[in-house]
Amino acid sequence: DAGITQSPRYKITETGRQVTLMCHQTWSHSYMFWYRQDLGHGLRLIYYSAAADITDKGEVPDGYVVSRSKTENFPLTLESATRSQTSVYFCASSELDRGPTEAFFGQGTRLTVV
């Protein structure tokens, strides 16, 4: 199916464990983004990527690692999960090489760290 998909949709993990959230898009968009959204707050940018093998920090990168070995995938890893990382995580992609345009968001991954 065409689009942007995140997996898993729901995840419960324990403090200190490593967990990876997956994001896959089928449009070959050059730009991809990871946001987190906490209860009652707007979305905050964690990391973004302008192309394969090019990533950069956003507003709240601490505790997260990303990679972009393939254009279509942009996994987000929590190296040692903490309770403060309990959140809903959204991935997005966009074809910004052609100028300002829309971004497409996934349905989100709800992560709970216990």
Partner 1 sequence: DAKTTQPPSMDCAEGRAANLPCNHSTISGNEYVYWYRQIHSQGPQYIIHGLKNNETNEMASLIITEDRKSSTLILPHATLRDTAVYYCIVPTDSWGKFQFGAGTQVVVTP
The site for partner 1 (CB under 8 A) is made up of 31, 33, 35, 41-45, 48, 50, 58-59, 88, 90, 92, 94, 96, 99-108
Cα torsion through 92, 56, 61, 30, rounded to 10: 10
64/106 with CB nearer partner 1: 106
What Rg value do the Cα atoms of the chain yield, rounded?
13
Q: How far is the CB of 80 from partner 1 (least distance, A)?
A: 26
* Separation between Cα atoms, residue 108 and residue 7, nearest integer Å: 8
Q: Is the separation of the CB atoms in 49 and 113 below 8 Å? A: no
- Residue 50's identity, in one-letter code, is A
1/102 with CB nearer partner 1: 102
14/40 with CB nearer partner 1: 40
Other Cβ atoms less than 10 A from the Cβ of 57: the count is 13
10/80 with CB nearer partner 1: 10
